[in-house]
Structure 1
Amino acid sequence: MLEQLWQSVIQLPSYLIDANKRIYLPYLVSAILMAIPVYWTLEKNKSLQSFIRFLFPREVWLSHSAKLDYCLLVTNRLIKAALFAPIVLTMVPIAMAVSGALETLFGPSLHLDVASWVVISLFTLALFIVDDFTRFVLHLLLHKVPFLWEFHKVHHSAKVLTPFTIYRSHPVESYLYACRMALAQGFVVGLGYYLFGSALSMYDILGANAFVFIFNICGSNLRHSHIWLSWGDKIEGWFISPAQHQVHHSNNPKHFDTNLGSALAIWDRMYGSLIKASVAGKISIGVGQYDAGHDSLVAIYAKPFIEAIKTIIPKKVKSRAIEEKRE
């Protein structure tokens, strides 16, 4: 177990060279490049020094909130290695179950005779769309179900945003997202196998789904940052811009539960939760007009369990407990 935990820690630098990780070096470089026009518009006295200060303000990167994010990158990795592996859902049995269910309902696998490039294109696109849709659904539940919100609140308790805020999450939420990924991929693989047989493959760029790579290279790391980058009203009706995701982190009640999508904005449009950067106005980051109390690692890990349990205690029991305290 100790060896497994140690391996998990020493593998953390590999995040910088893994195209499936948000802090992959080319994604970070692309974010810096996309920050240049924002800097150019805002700053009058331009220089390399002022650009570096613009990218890395001390009050953001060295804040207590940001330091907690750095710690969570490591501690969550250790928890995942120690606990998740034995209990997380995996894609293969789900894919087999989906394919088997389709055969039971509609007969033997079709194994359609279609050009390989069509199969690969459809499979790659389906993986991207189903993954994005299921992310939206789970994200919506994390916001709307009080029990789940207490765990997701950890992410929203960040008082500043940096690319490392993506790793500011409670292990319960991380587990739910891991299971969601297995279900989404398993469904697409099972359906693909039923339609086209085992000759399934994906268009990838350096090991990442081509569509995911394109999304990440287009400034995804600016989503969790202090740099306001809007893509304009037309594009933001289809894709979530970095500025739109910053609106999602706003502490203004008007912005709560908006822009829940990851890459595609169409789910928010359908649900009615889309807000474009042009109408959001100036924002401040946080969970609202109160402190979530997530000011230490102990509080981040323990408090959500306590508060989540309170959400499922019957109101009668709560009122009785209050009365007993008064007496």
Structure 2
Amino acid sequence: MALIELLSSSLTDLVNYPFDANKRLYIGYVLGAIVLALPVYWLGQQQRSAVGFMRFLFPKAIYLSSSAKHDYALLILNKLLKAALLVPLMFTMVPVALSVSGGLEQLFGVIEPITENQAVVIAAFTLLLFLFDDFTRYLLHLVLHKVPFLWEFHKVHHSARVMTPFTIYRSHPVETYLYGCRMALAQGVAVGLGYYFFGATLKMYDVLGANVFVFLFNVFGSNLRHSHIWLSWGDRLENWFISPAQHQVHHSIARIHRDTNLGSALAIWDRMAGSLVKASTVDSLKIGIHDDEAHQSLLGLYLDPFKQVFFRTKKQVGRLFSRA
């Protein structure tokens, strides 16, 4: 009975995604993407119409493709799996925050919280949350690309042959678990620091419950990152913020692009690591991974990574014994 209630709650949560500003599919973010797509359509087409714009936004060849259908299925199945299996195993933010604030007190002693200018305090904590979230996203994304057995799980996301806003939810449950733990750690560290420096009454600037910086990131085209619509911010802005076009470059089938533009909102992490690629330097683009790496079925999207990890481990063990 409890399992049925859990699954029902998860499905209800999915239905509410368009009305939750903490979800990428929130209606406001979708509308923001449509507004940003309009000049791309207007400048790229000689004959323009409302019907033509809708066909430009939602081409059947993309949204009815087998790859897109896998995305839709993964959105639902992963939501159910996460609720039933992963949530009880994830780290939680509270113990991390208490450990951080307690550790700081042990190292530096108790200090008088900074409370003089509440507007500055709230702004500082809001920025701290955003920076920790964005940087840890970049770090985990980097690890998923660089550690071979983790790449097998992240490869599920890159196996999309077309991209829609639903592709953000195309991930293996193992990767979902890692990102859930990452979020708890990032928020826990930020809250622990905030508690130590600013006291127990922590607040952030938000819009409809979402961090204001995250809200702005999502309004300004986050849903175009996984799409066929090429929107670049220009070379100067792309030094600081990852544009939708830059993320599409990251999904390129070309291996020289695979480990580039790993950042989420900010481009500074890639710029410091030398992995930033500007949209203006890419002439043509094909999305996906090579056929020998592709997952061909919904079941394969779940099972193939485990098979590949097994084969990799078996090969490594064999090499160790051959050297002995």
TM-score (norm 1): 0.95
- Asked whether 1:278 is paired with 2:248, we answer no
Distance 1:66 1:291 in 2: 20
2:26 to 24, 27, 31: 24
Q: 1:199-226 deviations in whole A, cap 9, x for unaligned?
A: 2100000100000000100011000000
Distance 1:8 1:246 in 2: 30
Moved more, 86-95 or 312-321: 312-321
Distance 2:44 2:52 in 1: 11
Distance 1:239 1:129 in 2: 13
Q: Which residue of 2 aligns with 1:266?
A: 268
Q: 1:300-326 deviations in whole A, cap 9, x for unaligned?
A: 1111111123333353616989xxxxx
Which amino acid letter does the alignment assign opposite residue 140 of structure 2? Answer: L
Please tell me whether the aligned partners of residues 165 and 226 of structure 2 are also in contact (alpha carbons under 8 angstroms).
yes
Q: Which residue of 2 aligns with 1:152?
A: 154
Q: 1:49-98 deviations in whole A, cap 9, x for unaligned?
A: 11111111111000000000000010000001101221101100100000
Give the % identical residues.
60
Which amino acid letter does the alignment assign opposite residue 66 of structure 1? Answer: A
Offset, 1:48: 1.1
- Alignment length, in residue pairs? 320
1:16-55 residue pairs with structure 2 within 5 A? 16-55=18-57
Distance 2:44 2:292 in 1: 31
Please tell me whether the aligned partners of residues 114 and 121 of structure 2 are also in contact (alpha carbons under 8 angstroms).
no
Please tell me whether the aligned partners of residues 226 and 248 of structure 2 are also in contact (alpha carbons under 8 angstroms).
yes
Which 5+ residue runs of structure 2 have no aligned equivalent? Answer: none
Alpha-carbon spacing, 1:113–1:204, altered in 2? closer, same or farther (3 Å):
closer
Distance 2:317 2:94 in 1: 45
Q: 1:91-146 deviations in whole A, cap 9, x for unaligned?
A: 00100000111111111143124311111000000000110000000000000000
Q: Which residue of 1 aligns with 2:83?
A: 81
Which amino acid letter does the alignment assign opposite residue 196 of structure 2? Answer: Y
SS of alignment partner, residue 11 of structure 1 = helix
Q: Which residue of 1 aligns with 2:209?
A: 207
Which amino acid letter does the alignment assign opposite residue 313 of structure 1? Answer: K
1:143 to 145, 151, 154: 145
Q: Which residue of 2 aligns with 1:182?
A: 184
Q: Which residue of 1 aligns with 2:253?
A: 251
Please tell me whether the aligned partners of residues 115 and 121 of structure 2 are also in contact (alpha carbons under 8 angstroms).
no
Offset, 1:47: 0.9
Q: Which residue of 1 aligns with 2:102?
A: 100
Offset, 1:188: 0.7
Please tell me whether the aligned partners of residues 122 and 205 of structure 2 are also in contact (alpha carbons under 8 angstroms).
yes
Distance 2:91 2:317 in 1: 37
Moved more, 169-178 or 305-314: 305-314
1:115 to 114, 117, 133: 117
Q: Which residue of 1 aligns with 2:296?
A: 295
Please tell me whether the aligned partners of residues 63 and 164 of structure 2 are also in contact (alpha carbons under 8 angstroms).
yes
Distance 2:133 2:265 in 1: 10
Please tell me whether the aligned partners of residues 258 and 275 of structure 1 are also in contact (alpha carbons under 8 angstroms).
yes
1:206-225 residue pairs with structure 2 within 5 A? 206-225=208-227
Q: Which residue of 2 aligns with 1:311?
A: 312
Which amino acid letter does the alignment assign opposite residue 75 of structure 2? Answer: L
Which amino acid letter does the alignment assign opposite residue 147 of structure 2? Answer: V
Which amino acid letter does the alignment assign opposite residue 248 of structure 1? Answer: H
Q: Runs ≥4 in structure 1, deviation > 4 angstroms?
A: 318-321
Which amino acid letter does the alignment assign opposite residue 235 of structure 2? Answer: D
Distance 2:45 2:292 in 1: 33
SS of alignment partner, residue 305 of structure 2 = helix
Distance 1:286 1:216 in 2: 24
Please tell me whether the aligned partners of residues 293 and 299 of structure 1 are also in contact (alpha carbons under 8 angstroms).
no
Offset, 1:295: 2.1
Q: Which residue of 1 aligns with 2:135?
A: 133
TM-align CA RMSD: 1.4
Offset, 1:252: 1.1
